[in-house]
Structure 1
Amino acid sequence: MPAIATVATYAILTCLWSTIFVFYLLNRRKTADYPFAAMLLSVLALDAFKSALESGYFGLVWGWQYGILSPSFQVLGRPGSLMAVKLVNLAVAAVVVARLLRTWIPALFVQRQMQRVKFEGVSQVARDIEQSFHAAFQTTPDAMCIVRFDDGVIVAVNEGYTRMSGWSESEAVGRTSVDLGLWIDVEQRKRLFEELSTSGVSRELEPTFHKRGGSEFHCSLTSRLFTVGEGKFFLTVARDITERKRNENLRAALYRIAQSAGCSGSLQELLGEVHRIIADLMPVPNFYIALYDEARSIFHFPYAVDEHDELPSVPADLEGSLTKYVFRTGKALAVDEPGFQELVRAGEVREMGAPCDSWIGVPLKTQDRTVGVLAAQCYTATVRYEAAHLELLTFVSTQIAHAIQRKQGEEALRASERRFRAVIDNASDGICLLDAAGLVRPLNPGGQVLGQGWLLDVVHPEDVATVRQKLDEAHARPSVPVVAQGRVVSADGHRPVELIFTNLLDEPAVRGVVLNVRDLSERKQLEARLLAADRMVSVGTLAAGVAHEINNPLAYVIANLEMVADERPQVSESVAELIKAAQEGAERVRLIVRDLKTFSRADERRHGPIDVHHVLEASVSMAGNEIRHRARLVREYGTDVPRIVGNEGRLGQVVLNLLVNAARWKRTRSPCGRSARAIGW
């Protein structure tokens, strides 16, 4: 049994050694030698241990126990198959040991030498890197500083930091940014330290800093935390983005101005928004806009905000003012008190209004003309308007001028629309719009007489053909008015109207037939009155002629009756009564003729003294037949009424019309309550 185990053990070892050795030969150029050498040595040690078991004391024990293999102190043992296997194993082990002596042991010395050389090279590289970093730190155009994290003390700055902040390296090192007064918003500094504490990095922080001297600048900060020994520091790189911020703010301002101009609102509201927009870009506590009226050659102030100066509340020419100077020259101007005095001495301007320390103004220009001036002024030395402010206002002035012009145009258009609407709504004629099919759309209250429907549906059936013919004629003759008369059906009956068609179907702004509807009811009534008046004139003329013709024979009748009456003693009593009755009748005819002559002279332009009582009696006499069957006439005349100057015929006509109208108005009253009063003075 031990012999079988021994043979099996050597067989397995031989296969394992052979496999590892072949793999080693195939991969010795790709892999280090010592891993394979270690494995082969471990196998060789196992084989040596096996050989030791077979020889010496262990071999005696083994041989004595199993009766196999006599005791021997020779490692190879007796000649045979086991000896051949051992020889092969020893040969392989010799090759491996030779390989190790040739490559691995020298490699250990080479590796240690390389480590020493590498350490010296790293030190040199570190020195080179340090010099490169220092050069980059000092020459970069961005501001860079190294700050101790624990207390925020600055330990190093570069030239860009000095150029950007105004503080030199000797002044900044050993102090904090708070001591230097750099931060405008200290909360942003706290945010920077919080981000570095949590993540070790801070990006996209864009604070605004105070520059030494009082001006401001914008920066984009990037900071990173690092450790040196036991101390924590952070490196901050600041890039000046003042110009970028300025351009962004200008673009935003232009957009807001254009947006405000497009919104509904008055010019006053637009200019107030312009003031707020400019105030976001620069200090403008006192601000006004003066617009020029070319028709009257004066300025007016649609918007003004000022702490001290009283700007004109009414339009003025502003001769001798800085505003007029900028408008006249067409050039932007920023001036302080000494500069203003120079202009005064040069005769360009004169002192007026409250004195200010700094004034700035730009002309508001459109493509073809200057429409006004935008100006701001400051009464304290805290604000000084400089070239940058002048450039900013000049940049936005054109947009403001166009916005003002647009808003003025919109207000003028709205005013024109209001006037047009007022005229249309108060027009005596109705105005409607017809589409191509004849559908009515009223445009003013007068057009409601036709309603909102089809035109021919509201036309009197007898006039439909005429109206349709005129409408077809209007369709055939664009822009030419076509007149038609007819009647329309309304709630109170048939109303005569005049229809005027104007075909504007080809006009893009109208796309319809404009229809003017003129109510002829009053005109028809007026025509009837005029006709009646003409008839009255004719009747008056006829009455005058008849009165003249009657008056001549009537004179003979009256004269003859008077002669007969003088002979009354010679006639009987009955004949005398007849003569008296005839005289009364003749007198009555004479009075009627006289009244006819009075009213026939109504159009005469003769004026003279008039007996009012006589005129009243004549009118009552003429209206007696009209009143008799309708009302009861009561005469109440005054006494001692003087004569008045006037036209007797016209006054009589007035009284006659009053009496007749009063009698007709009383027609619906009960007989007991009907009365008409003729009241005199």
Structure 2
Amino acid sequence: MKENKDLFFQCFNLNPIPAAITTIDDGVIVDVNDAFCELSGHRREGLLGRTVMDIRLWVDTAQRESVLQEGRQKGVVKNREVLLRHANGEAHHCLLFTKVFEYDGKPHHLSMAIDISERKRSEDELGYAEARYRAMVENTLSGVAIFRALGDCEDFEYLEFNKAAERIDLVSREEVVGKTLLEAFPGSRESGLYQALCRVWRNGIGENLPVYYYQDDRISGWRESFVYRLPSGELVEVYSDHTALIRMEEDLSERNRELYTLISNLPGMVYRRVHDGEWTMVEVSQGSFKLTGYRREELVGNKKISWGRVIHLEDRDVVFHEIHRALEKRDHFQVVYRIRTADDRIKWVWDHGSGVFSAEGGLQFLEGFAFDITDHMRIQEELRMTEERFAKIFQASPDWVSITTLEDGAYIDVNDGYLKASGYTRDEVMGHTSLEIDIWERASDRRRLVRKIRDQGLVRNEEVRFRTKTGNLRSVLWSAVPITLGDRECILGWGRDITEYKYLEDELLRTQKMEAVGRLAGTIAHDFNNYLSAIDGFCELALLKVGNAEAITRNIGKIRDVKVTASSLIKQLLSFSRKQPAKPVPVDLNDVIRSMQELLVPVMGSKIELGLTLGTDKCLILSDRSQLEQVIMNLSLNARDAMPKGGCFRISTEHVFVDEESAGMHVDLSAGEYVRLLVSDNGMGMDKDTVSHVFDPYFTTKSLGKGSGLGLTIVYTIVRQSGGCISLQSEPGKGSTFTIFLPVYKAGAEEKHLL
């Protein structure tokens, strides 16, 4: 027994593993070996008799309580990883083995602790290294896949698949790991990747797979791969996607081709030249031949002629100094100059370019573009001459000519005729608006005409009234078109003073109306004689029947009826002859014709049949009623004179819509809704030459004293003033038909006209 005990202590003391014997209850250290002293950092005599708590052996006392509890339950604790403290305070990772055994007749703990601190540090470093490797693999821009060979290279199973691989192959890691290469990417045989993996797995030599094309039903693109084998036998593929690069190269190649094509087809010359005395060309596009007559090969390196000598002799110094000044400022240059072509023609060119400087700041080349502007210069000269002619016409015209801004009517320029007619000086006009100097009779006139310019693009022959400096109102026939001066929208207005013409026109209308009244008076004189004879007869009958009250009453009634009929005719004649100012208002053309029917019957006479076919709906137009009556009367008198032996005279009205095609068949008629008035007779008719002059002033085919030749001229003028048009169809022996189109009046049209 003693020998066994001695053997135990020999093994205990000589054991290289730190060991200690402690009491179970309070952890008093009974014995320790040298290895334990080294582990704890305490001398043997400093340990014996003290408790493990006294020497603060346990870093975590909760670990000690856990070990004690497990020892009480199982009698032994194996390979428990704990932290034990060295005397210098350093903590050591240890694997603890504790067993309860009899010592000096009492149960004690025999504990052994193996210091694994170095192993822990190695494991941690290995873990850190693995984490760094995994992070590097996961975050690298290249795709990384790890495979395990199946059988004799029948296929390769995916073990790992990083984020870059997910991005390149448009698939998630979960969809790939666990599958084989040919399952996940069936196009790998055709691309050569499968064969490369087989070779590397067999010979262990890493292999680069140059750029190749991969394609399957899901993805396609250009790849480059490097495959190698790990010591574990696993295979690694590191690959990158070259699709964008190759497409960029293809696109760049296409861009270069397009650029070459573009440069070759430019209507000018792209160049690179040296800023020397001769401006030696280093490179020049094929456009040089069309521009100068010299081929690229003749200009590059001054083979046949230098660019300096192509430039017109008189312009060389100016061009050199202009470009040199721009280069000093490191600025772009733009120079216009002349060149002499190979066939000795003079051309104007616009040269735009800049200097190319080295990193040290030295000028290396001039690069730019020279463009033929000969036609442009010719047009500029023609434009200058046109502007001069316009300025002369502008100033020489006696009419009211002005240029004003579209927005507010501010004067930009006026001619002398405008100033003379208005009475203002140039200083009183310039810098002001037309509303400020109160030139318009009504401010609303300008607003209306500006709207018309915006809507229709121009105003033509609009009658307006301008107020002179002295306050007099002048009637002006005003036309205007929009023009752009710089960045401002303006109006070029041209007005002709028609005040005197308007007076003469009014007098002409009055004269012609009086002529028509005279002709009417002569026509209805016979009717009045009949009315007077009837009155005289009834008076004689009344005298004979003095004793018969009933007969007298009846005869007096007949006299009254004749008087009423005669009075009605006189009223219509007075109404027609009355002088009234023209005022366009909404008027029903049918009503005008009906009211004139009683007057037209005696005018036409008993030999002419009068027929009216008026539209069922009101034929509202915007016109002057008295002027419309004059139109009807003039056309009626004209028809009567064309049928001396009698005939048929017809007046009809209807609503019509004139489309673009039909409008093109009439002068100054646009598409829209109209009231059509047809006035026809079956009289003598007219030949083509007469028809072509029928509306001319003072033109007549009647004998002297039978007409002034103004009747149809007045009709034409009134119709045009009402916004309509009139035409005549006639043939000799087949009568005549006047067709008049008058715009339909709609609610608001009158107000718009007056604004």
Taking structure 1 as the reference length, the TM-score comes to: 0.27
Q: For the pair shown, which has the larger CA radius of gyration, 1 or 2?
A: 1
Task: Flag the structure with higher strand content.
Answer: 2
Task: Flag the structure with higher helix content.
Answer: 1
Taking structure 2 as the reference length, the TM-score comes to: 0.25
